[in-house]
Structure 1
C-alpha cells in the first residue's frame, strides 16, 4: 500500500475546512462516510486496493474527524451537499464517481439529485432508502436485535450522554457488534470516532426532512449500483421497496453473509464490485 501516491490536504469550503485524503491516480471516486458524524477512516484500509485503478478521495464531513466544526454548529443535509459540491470545484473535477455508505448513501442521493450533471456513477452500500421511512425501519430493526441487557445499557447511556457524563464512545461499544453478520469481523474496523453533536443535529434533520421520492427521476441517466448485506438491518428485499422502486434502473446486488458494514465485513466483494462498476465494464 505504501507505493500508492498519497496526499493529505486541508481544503476551505463554505463555512469550514475539510480534512481530505487523496490516494492513487485515475478517475476520481469520492467516498462519503456514514454516521452521521463518523469519519473517513471507516473505509480504511479496506478500500485501498481500488487505488490501483482510481484516485480515491476520502474526506471527513463538516465537524467530523479532523475537519473543522461548521460555523455556529449548524449541520444540515443541504449544507453537506453544498460542501461536497464546493469540494468538487476546489479539486477541479468536472464529474465525480460517488461511493456512499449508510448515511453516506443518503448524502450521495441528495447530491446526485441536486447536481445530476456532476455525477458519473453512484455506488451505494448499506443503503437506507429514499425517505425517512428507511431510517425508522433501520432503528426499529436495530432495537429488535438488541439483547435485553444491551437495551438497558443503551437506555442509561442515553441519559448519561444528555447530562454530559457519558460520551458517544460508550454507545458505539454496545451497538457496533450488531452492525455485523459475524462479530469476529469487528477486529477489522478501525477505532473511528463519532461526533455526537453532528450525529444529533444532522440526525434530526434527516428524520424530519429526508425525502427524495419526488426527486430521484433526476438520476435517470446515472448508473446506480446498490450493494446490500444479506443480514443488514434493511435487507435487500426491503431496500427494493424503500429505494429501488424509485430508481428502477438501479442494479441491486446482495452481499451474502454480511451485515450493515459491507466495507468492513466483505471488502474483497465490495472492491470487486466497485472496480467493475466504476470501470467501463459491466458488473
Structure 2
C-alpha cells in the first residue's frame, strides 16, 4: 500500500504543477460568467477540469471522478477523486493571487487523502487520514513537504478566525478573535490546519471545496464540524452533489467547539 500512496502523492504534485503553470498564464486576464447557483466559471475552470479529469482517468483507470464542472454525481466506485479545478475563481479573474487546485481521494465514499496546490503562493498542502476506513495510511498533514499542526492556543483578540462572504452576519454579535476573509474556501480552512488561524467557517461550500480539506484539517489535529445534522460521509452512490451546500465549522482543537459552535450554528439552519 505504501507504493500506492507514493504514486498518489507524486501524481498530485506533478499534475497540479502542470495545470497550475498553465492557469497562471490566464490569471487576471479572462472574464467569468455566472452559473445557475450563483458561482462563477471561466474557460480556464473548464479546461483545468478537463485536464485533471483526463489525467486521473489515464493514471487511475479503476477510480471514479466527480468534478465541479463536469460530473457531479457520485459514482459506484470503491475509489473516487473529487476535483475543484479552480477554488477561488473570483480571485483568479480579479487578479488576486490566492486561488488553488483541490484534489480529494475517497475510499468507499469517505475522503482519505487530500491535496491542495496554490500555484502563485507556491504552497502545496496535503494530508492522509484513515479514520475508520481500515486502510493502512501514513497519517499526517504537510505544507511543502513539512509537517503542519493546528494552533493549540486559547482564542484571543490576537488570534485569527476566517469567515466566508456569506457568513458575515456572525459579526452582529461580539466575536472573540480577529476576522479575516480569504475568498477561497479551501485556503480559508487550510490556514487552520497550518496553525495560522484558530478557526474558520464556510456557509455554502460544495463537496469539491471540502473533500481534500476535510482530510488535511483532521490530520493536522483540527476538528471539522458539519453544521447540518445530516451525516455527509460516506457519500451516496448516484447522488447529485451539484446543488448541495455543506456549511461547516473548523477549529484548531476539539475543546474549542463549545466556544465557537453557538456563534455559527445558525448557518446550518439556513441551508
- TM-score, normalising length: structure 2: 0.29
Which of the two has greater strand per residue? 2
Which of the two has greater helix per residue? 1
- TM-score, normalising length: structure 1: 0.29
